[in-house]
Amino acid sequence: MRRPSSYLSRGEELDVTMTPLIDVVFLLLVFFLWTASFQLVEQMLPSRLTAVAGAAPSLRDEPPPPEEDFDRVVVRVRWHDGQPSWQINDTVVDSLAEVQRRLQDIAAIKRDAPVILHPAQEVPVGHVIDLYDVTRLLGFERIQFAASQPI
């Protein structure tokens, strides 16, 4: 048994608007195209993980990044008996001129090596500024100061 419809009894045509449906389909199409474009980029990201868990590490074809082949240079300044004492990567250096010579040798090899200046708290600021000026004059690009306390 069929129930009578109010639309058919009036004799009017049924009018269906397509605009909202087209808007929804367009938005879905844009969404899927937008998210699908990221899949290709995600697969191309460099990774050092092996494809199978527990497998032997794979050999890299490309050379290592420049940061891996050169350690950072840590220059420590300590204050002993009213005089500064200098240290480059745990090697004691006699004077600021010797620090400059050693840093010049490092700058000749790799100017963008990270240089970390690590002064003790009791060192006068003038000595730290002199050390900073030496590193800037030698052309180092990445000069950082070590924090003595956690930030």
Per-residue pLDDT reduced to its tens digit, 114-142: 888 888 888 888 888 888 888 889 888 88
- Indicate the pTM of the whole model: 0.51
More confident residue, 35 or 56: 35
Report pLDDT for 65. 55
Place 37 in a pLDDT band, splitting at 50, 70 and 90. low
Which residues on adjacent β-strands are paired with residue 93? 86
**Which of left, alpha, beta for 22 (phi over 0: left; psi -120 to 50: alpha)?**
alpha
Spatial CA neighbour of 115 closest among 67, 75, 56, 77: 75
Give domain 73-145's CATH architecture: 2-Layer Sandwich (3.30)
The CA distances from residue 89 to 29, 38, 39, 137, in Å, are 58, 44, 44, 20
Q: pLDDT tens digits for 46-89?
A: 656 555 555 555 555 565 555 445 677 888 888 888 888 888 88
Q: Give the whole-angstrom CA distance, residue 50 versus residue 40.
A: 19
| Other C-beta atoms lying within 10 Å of the C-beta of residue 112 | 13
